[in-house]
Amino acid sequence: MAPTQAPGYAYVFAAGASVDWIKAGYSEVRSSVAVAVTAWGGAPEVSEFFDWAGPLIARGEVVEADLSDFHSVMEGLEPLLEELREEGVRPYVNLTTPHQPASMALYAAATFFGGRALCVAPGPGGSVRIVRVPVLPPRELPEEAVQILEALEELGGSAFLGDLGQLVEFRERGARDRRRSRASNANYYVKTYLRPMGLVLVERVGKRHRVSITEEGRDVLARRALYGFPPSRAASRRAEAVPLR
């Protein structure tokens, strides 16, 4: 399989893999920009890669982060990737690293910034092979679903399902929406979007259902612009809401 030759991409990788595997990923992409994510203080394989790649690239960047912390890696990468996006450059990430949170953050970065992904795997006879990983765009959330996340966050993280219906403005999209109660509308967005995506948890408490926002749900709110979700718009009734404990 021929190398990708992706001049509109930046090759992004995390420290921890062997320098040969880092080079193999770069040789697949062959971009003029390379970005390394490394632990505080650097890593020898990163220095060795840039010594090797120096004549091949026009720009090299190093981002220091806690490779065991997904959010640390994302927060380190986001400003640089946003700058590159404004220059028309998207990330092509190498997911190969023993630091799993860093690998997941690289995949998320490719998702948020419209990039691509690969990983390096062992091949026959000690060789390596490149696996191109599909990057799926984040599933769009309706405005009502985002408002439910906002309401949960403002209420301390959880609320009963029936009460959520009073805190969110539901737009009527047809006769079916008009027939639904507000609680049923809230239930629809929780069951159809938020719970399947892991953005909320639902537990039964007596005869009621408590909905709690997850860490992933909070991440969606914190990075709503990257996900392409609608801007925050507080429901008119929310000002009168009393947190449910």
Place of tokens 């996900």: 227
- What confidence tens digit (pLDDT) does each residue in 61-111 have? 999 999 999 999 999 999 999 999 999 999 999 999 999 999 999 999 998
Residue 58 has pLDDT above 80, yes or no: yes
Residues 82, 106 contacting (CB under 8 angstroms): no
122, 17 contact by CB (below 8 A): no
Mean pLDDT score across all residues of the chain: 84
Q: Domain ranges for the chain, please list them.
A: 9-133, 143-240
Six token digits for residue 42: 């650097």
> How do strand 128-133 and strand 158-160 relate by DSSP bridges?
unpaired
Distance separating alpha carbons of residues 96 and 132, to the nearest angstrom:
12
Cα distances from 50 to residues 22, 26, 39, 44, in angstroms, run 10, 11, 16, 10
Dihedral angle of Cα 15, 20, 22, 25, to the nearest 10 degrees: -160
Whole-number Å distance between alpha carbons of 105 and 73: 6
Please state the length of the chain.
245
Q: Under CATH, which architecture does the 9-133 domain have?
A: 3-Layer(aba) Sandwich (3.40)
Q: In one letter, which amino acid is 149?
A: L
CB atoms near residue 87 (< 10 Å): 11
Measured CA to CA in angstroms, residue 94 lies from 19, 75, 224 at distances of: 12, 18, 25
Q: Which of 102, 111, 105, 103 is nearest to 135 (CA)?
A: 111
Q: Which amino acid is at 37?
A: V
**pLDDT tens by residue, 232-242:** 554 334 444 44
Class of domain 143-240: mainly alpha
- Please report the pLDDT score of residue 182 as a whole number: 67
- What pLDDT, in 10s, does the model give residues 134-163? 887 666 678 888 889 999 999 999 999 888
For the whole model, what pTM was predicted? Answer: 0.70
For residue 135, give the nearest of 1, 245, 27, 12 by alpha carbon.
Answer: 12
User: Residue 119's beta-bridge partner residues?
Assistant: 131
